[in-house]
């Protein structure tokens, strides 16, 4: 009888841990990409849950199935919040890339790329760079390390939404807007100068039809600026990812 109760307790712990891990794999950059098959993500979630369930403390017994389902929902929300904090950095990259593509004039030719979950070549380029930086600096390992720390800071079945995680998400969201501005600023300045220059030429030489050369000129100038500033983009992305992970770790430590 005791052995059977132990098995039930371990099974309940496993499902709660799996819910927390599954929430992370739903939103974490790279892991949540459509390029990663759903079966592979599910298998990774199960493997990690099996590895963690043994070290996690058994939760308090739930009196009803509804209480257990609610506990699983809260665990999933905790994992999704951790993944969302990291995902917000990529949202900033997408926002900046969208402005760059729009100013270059290539947004008119946007096409959907399901593998990158993005539309437009500029956005896809920046997202690929962000994913490369994320993996290079060990962002995926930092997210998994944060997951393991949650089991020390927040016991299984003991999560309750608090101000610490909300504050971390808000701070990372503000940093994402700043990252978007930093990524787009060089191209925006170049496009502004190009627009002023073309306006002066049009005013001086009204017979010159700049509309026919304006879009190719803006696209070429934008590509040149991107090529000139791509070396400085990687440190910005690295600092943004590390800042997001720092906010997340601080929020978990504050609980």
Q: Which residue has the tokens 């720390």?
A: 149
Which of the residue ranges 111-125, 141-155, 181-195, 217-231 would you say has the lowest mean pLDDT?
Answer: 111-125
Q: What average pLDDT does the structure give for the chain?
A: 79
CA neighbor of 17 nearest in space, from 60, 63, 48, 42: 48
Q: What is the pLDDT of residues 166-194, one digit of tens each?
A: 788 888 889 999 999 998 899 889 888 88
Q: What is the pLDDT of residues 58-67, one digit of tens each?
A: 666 666 778 7
Distances (CA, A) of 172 to 87, 141, 148, 238: 10, 19, 21, 14
Q: What is the pLDDT of residue 178?
A: 92
Q: Which residue has the tokens 């020390």?
A: 152
What gap in Å lies between CA 144 and CA 30, rounded to an integer?
13
Cβ atoms of 100 and 226 closer than 8 Å = yes
Buried b (16+ CB within 10 A) or exposed e, 230-249: eeebeebbbbbbeebbebbb
What gap in Å lies between CA 104 and CA 219, rounded to an integer?
5
Q: Which residue has the tokens 């905790």?
A: 78
* In the chain, where the domains are located: 2-253
């Amino acid at each position: 009888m005791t052995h059977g109760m132990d098995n039930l307790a371990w099974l309940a712990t496993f499902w709660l841990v799996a819910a927390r891990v599954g929430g992370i794999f739903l939103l974490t950059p790279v892991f949540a990409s459509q390029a990663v098959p759903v079966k592979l993500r599910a298998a990774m979630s199960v493997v990690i849950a099996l590895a963690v369930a043994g070290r996690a403390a058994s939760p308090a017994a739930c009196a009803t199935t509804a209480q257990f389902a609610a506990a699983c929902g809260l665990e999933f929300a905790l994992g999704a919040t951790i993944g969302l904090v990291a995902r917000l950095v990529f949202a900033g990259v997408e926002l900046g890339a969208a402005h760059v593509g729009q100013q270059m004039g290539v947004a008119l030719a946007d096409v959907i790329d399901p593998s990158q979950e993005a539309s437009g070549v500029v956005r896809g380029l920046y997202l690929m760079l962000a994913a490369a930086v994320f993996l290079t600096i060990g962002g995926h390992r930092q997210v998994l390390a944060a997951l393991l720390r949650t089991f020390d800071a927040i016991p299984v079945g003991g999560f309750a939404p608090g101000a610490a995680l909300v504050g971390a998400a808000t701070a990372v969201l503000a940093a994402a807007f700043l990252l978007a501005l930093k990524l787009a600023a060089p191209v925006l300045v170049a496009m502004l100068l190009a627009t002023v220059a073309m306006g002066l030429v049009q005013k001086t030489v009204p017979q010159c039809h700049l509309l026919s050369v304006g879009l190719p000129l803006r696209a070429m100038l934008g590509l040149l600026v991107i090529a000139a500033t791509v070396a400085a983009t990687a440190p910005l992305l690295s600092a943004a990812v590390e800042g997001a992970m720092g906010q997340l770790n601080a929020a978990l430590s504050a609980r």
